[in-house]
Amino acid sequence: MSNAALTELASHIRCLSAEAVQKANSGHPGLPMGCADIAAVLFSEFLNFDPAHSHWIGRDRFVLSAGHGSMLQYSLLHLFGYAVSMEDLKNFRQLGAPTAGHPEFGHIDGVETTTGPLGAGISNAVGMALSAKMLGARFGQAQIPSKIYTLCGDGCMMEGVASEASSTAGHLQLDNLVIIYDSNRITIEGSTDIAFTEDVAKRYEAYGFAVLKADGHSMDSVRAALTASQTTGKPTLIIATTTIGKGSPNKSGTHKVHGAPLGPEETGLTRAALLPGTAEFTVTTSTAAFCKEVAAKGAAKRLAWEKAHSAWAISNPELKAKWDLFFAQTLPDLVLPEYKVGESIASRSSSEKTLNSIADQVEFLVGGSADLDCSNLTRMKDKGDVNTGAFAGRNLHFGVREHSMGGIVNGMALFGGLRPYCATFLVFADYMRPTIRLAALMKIPVIYVFTHDSFFVGEDGPTHQPTETKAGLECIPGLTVYRPADANEVNASWIAALKNTSGPTALLMSRQNLATLQESVGQDVTKGAYVAKKESGAKADLIILASGSEVKHALDTAAELEKDGKSVRVVSMPSSAQFEKQSCDYKKSVLPCDVRKRFAIDYGSSYSWHRYAGIDGLYACVDTFGECGPGPKVAEHLGFTTAKLAEKARGYLKA
């Protein structure tokens, strides 16, 4: 395509971006203006997309990791004919507008993932590239020809999650991944020289990437780098040298253009210099026609893919049936392990049995652990491993990289076709919390398996005892947390997680053995809470609340109090998030309003229970960082014996 047409397109990107930021009086014009030339070449000549069918499976994916430069993406989406109007651009960053300050998946056509926290988009892109490889290994790479392009900046390169994810991509040799690094050497505080002087090229070469360089303002240079990236046989990093705010007559190349509007006068001068004689928020007929032509070529590529895919489907009916199953992710009627009442088994161990039973029945389930599958017990037996150049397996190895693990599985869920889970110790959920939050924000169905859920980790001490972590996870809107009390609740929690397609689910499992309870048999765990033991009298004197391993403590404590003639109810609450979704009548049936004496037992923070036990409730919880020692001795030291809990309850009831 002619460089003149691309230059005019880039000028529109610069002007629309600057004008939208100025109208909002808020935003980041520097990156969109600096990367306009790169974006013009990428979208016009390399990216396979069809704006009229933006969810076409065979499309390439573009991820704007540097999400603060969102007006770059919004301008492109509008210009190429996605469902993004000029009014949407004019309403940039306004309440209710789809053009939020940072791109949000599900809110605007053409945005593949929610970005904003720097570096997260790179990890999502790695997950998308991995999914494309894994699906290609199952159905043929011609069915999944997708390339994944992600645009990042200096800030992304500084964030650890980008390093973790890039290390994984290099190890796996994901040659369908292209990272374009906008190297403009400017951050909010000024020149990158004040904090960032490493040799990024050498770092990425060490990861196993092909590293290319380009002048980000030369169409020919950008084109040559993108052309070379198609055949490197490795994941590719293109280091594109740019000038931040390119096109602004007086502010380009300075940190002043990074995160603030140009100002009304400078914005006007920019359009006058780049597109003389045109009014703000307008597009020339020549650029409109050019973008329409590019979109038409994208539609032709989609139609060609669909024709080839239809022919493949006719020749491969069994594979086509599997394809439909993978992308619909329809669950069969699952048959799960059964457990005898009284049988003692750690919930991580019963989870392993449940997971492997599911794995035999749900072929699109894939996942792995952050170097802990022998401790998390999350390996699917006889299902093969994914590793360098080998993508037919189902077990993933993320290495000791919790943060990028979370971002990678987010990317896999967004790509479609596979249902990912990942695992680590519960205490290390904090390492991946930003990506868990993003999964909840995007409402994508990732499953997290967090084991070693309490101070029964024991001798590893407070650094590994997640006393406050469950409460912290429960604070994330849209994340459903299950902490099962026994093997029966484990089965039910896994099924609930698989059926939850509108958000992520965290499953919290114990290391220590748990007795399989008669009280959990036949209960509807998906309601979040149920009455595990009814009171002996007409009205309960006390309600004891617990989840996980503490439910057995609650039942034993209730039995002791019943010997005193007290009427005690025990409530198992594996998921407060699910309980809050139930009707008021159901919640009252579990927690009657007229029983104000309530006792919460938890090996972790009391914050999980304040809304249920109340300000005048009794708490046997751990609001410290735990202790080092054998688990049972730590439990006794902290007061978690039936005798001590019963004595505490007696004093409360007398008071």
The DSSP result for 173-228, as a single string, is: T-TTEEEEEEE--EETTEEGGGT--S-HHHHHHHHT-EEEEEETT-HHHHHHHHHH
Pair 439, 406: CB distance under 8 Å: yes
Are residues 558 and 484 part of one domain?
A: no
Decide if 319 is inside a domain: no
According to the model, what pLDDT value does residue 171 have?
98
- Rounded to the nearest 5°, which phi and psi values hold at 66? -80, 75
> Which long-range contacts (C-beta less than 8 Å, at least 24 apart) are formed by 608-617?
608/470, 608/471, 608/474, 608/547, 608/576, 609/545, 611/576, 612/545, 612/573, 612/576, 613/545
Q: How many CB atoms lie within 10 A of CB 549?
A: 28
- Rounded to the nearest 5°, which phi and psi values hold at 539? -140, 145
Decide if 333 is inside a domain: no
According to the model, what pLDDT value does residue 531 have?
98
Average pLDDT value for residue range 64-73: 98
Task: Give the β-pairing of 210-215 and 530-533.
Answer: unpaired
The CATH number given to whatever domain includes residue 148 is 3.40.50.970
The CA distance from 144 to 140, in Å, is 7
Dmax (CA) of the chain = 90
- pLDDT of 48 over the 90 cut: yes
pLDDT tens digits for range 512-562: 999 999 999 999 999 999 999 999 999 999 999 999 999 999 999 999 999
Are residues 353 and 225 part of one domain?
A: no
Confidence of residue 337 (pLDDT cuts 50, 70, 90): very high
The CA distance from 361 to 338, in Å, is 16
Are residues 538 and 420 part of one domain?
A: no
Decide if 594 is inside a domain: yes
Are residues 275 and 199 part of one domain?
A: yes
The CA distance from 342 to 239, in Å, is 61
* 447 closest CA partner among 499, 390, 386, 486: 499
According to the model, what pLDDT value does residue 103 have?
98
- Rounded to the nearest 5°, which phi and psi values hold at 268? -65, -40
Are residues 92 and 162 part of one domain?
A: yes
Are residues 407 and 281 part of one domain?
A: no
Task: Give the β-pairing of 190-191 and 186-187.
Answer: antiparallel
Decide if 308 is inside a domain: no
HSE-up (13 A, CA, CB side) for residue 153:
27
Q: Which residue, 301, 333, 368, sits at the end of a domain?
A: 301
Active site residues: 402
Decide if 339 is inside a domain: no
Domain with 609 in it: 525-654
Question: If 0-12 CB within 10 Å is exposed, 13-18 middle and 19+ buried, where does residue 55 land?
Answer: exposed
Decide if 311 is inside a domain: no
* 352 closest CA partner among 364, 336, 329, 341: 336
Pair 383, 140: CB distance under 8 Å: no
According to the model, what pLDDT value does residue 284 have?
98
- pLDDT of 251 over the 90 cut: yes
Are residues 70 and 208 part of one domain?
A: yes
The CA distance from 122 to 127, in Å, is 9
According to the model, what pLDDT value does residue 639 have?
96
Average pLDDT value for residue range 287-301: 98
According to the model, what pLDDT value does residue 191 have?
87
Confidence of residue 271 (pLDDT cuts 50, 70, 90): very high
State the amino acid at position 74 in one-letter form.
Y
Buried b (16+ CB within 10 A) or exposed e, 80-106: bbbebeeebbbbbbeeebbbbbbbbbe
According to the model, what pLDDT value does residue 573 have?
98
- pLDDT of 488 over the 90 cut: yes
Crossing angle (nearest 10°) for helices 347-361 and 487-499: 40
Cα 241 to Cα 12, 13, 211, 250, 619, distances in angstroms? 21, 18, 13, 20, 59
According to the model, what pLDDT value does residue 98 have?
98
Question: If 0-12 CB within 10 Å is exposed, 13-18 middle and 19+ buried, where does residue 7 land?
Answer: middle
According to the model, what pLDDT value does residue 187 have?
82
Residue with tokens 């006794």: 636
Q: Percentage of the chain surpassing pLDDT 70?
A: 100
Are residues 246 and 106 part of one domain?
A: yes
| Helix (H), strand (E) at residue 631 | helix 631-637
Are residues 467 and 404 part of one domain?
A: yes
Cα 586 to Cα 188, 197, 497, distances in angstroms? 52, 60, 22
Beta bridge partners of 191: 186
Mean pLDDT of the chain: 97
The CA distance from 641 to 392, in Å, is 49
- pLDDT of 507 over the 90 cut: yes
Are residues 422 and 487 part of one domain?
A: yes
Average pLDDT value for residue range 212-226: 98
Average pLDDT value for residue range 558-575: 98
* pTM exceeding the 0.95 threshold for the entire prediction: yes
pLDDT tens digits for range 385-421: 999 999 999 999 999 999 999 999 999 999 999 999 9
The CA distance from 435 to 403, in Å, is 7
According to the model, what pLDDT value does residue 633 have?
96
The CA distance from 439 to 445, in Å, is 8
Decide if 579 is inside a domain: yes
The CA distance from 484 to 482, in Å, is 6
The CA distance from 117 to 93, in Å, is 17
Residue with tokens 């003692």: 344
CA 206 to chain centre: 27
Decide if 324 is inside a domain: no
The CATH number given to whatever domain includes residue 593 is 3.40.50.920
Are residues 551 and 514 part of one domain?
A: no
- pLDDT of 256 over the 90 cut: no
Confidence of residue 255 (pLDDT cuts 50, 70, 90): confident
Q: Which residue, 474, 501, 519, sits at the end of a domain?
A: 519
Domains in the chain: how many in total? 3
| Helix (H), strand (E) at residue 634 | helix 631-637
Tokens of 246: 């390119």
Q: How many CB atoms lie within 10 A of CB 171?
A: 15
Confidence of residue 503 (pLDDT cuts 50, 70, 90): very high
Pair 16, 281: CB distance under 8 Å: yes
pLDDT tens digits for range 620-643: 999 999 999 999 999 999 999 999
Which of the 8 DSSP states describes residue 46?
A: I
State the amino acid at position 189 in one-letter form.
E
The CA distance from 202 to 268, in Å, is 41
pLDDT tens digits for range 166-190: 999 999 999 999 999 999 987 888 8
According to the model, what pLDDT value does residue 484 have?
98
Are residues 515 and 426 part of one domain?
A: yes
Q: Which residue, 490, 519, 548, sits at the end of a domain?
A: 519
| Helix (H), strand (E) at residue 470 | helix 469-474
Tokens of 447: 């499953």
Average pLDDT value for residue range 357-366: 98
Crossing angle (nearest 10°) for helices 3-24 and 264-274: 170
| Helix (H), strand (E) at residue 285 | helix 285-315
Please calculate the CA angle 3-9-12 and round it to the nearest 5 degrees.
145
Concatenated DSSP letters of 538-573: SS-SEEEEE-TTHHHHHHHHHHHHHHTT--EEEEE-
Tokens of 215: 């002048």
Residue count (the chain): 655
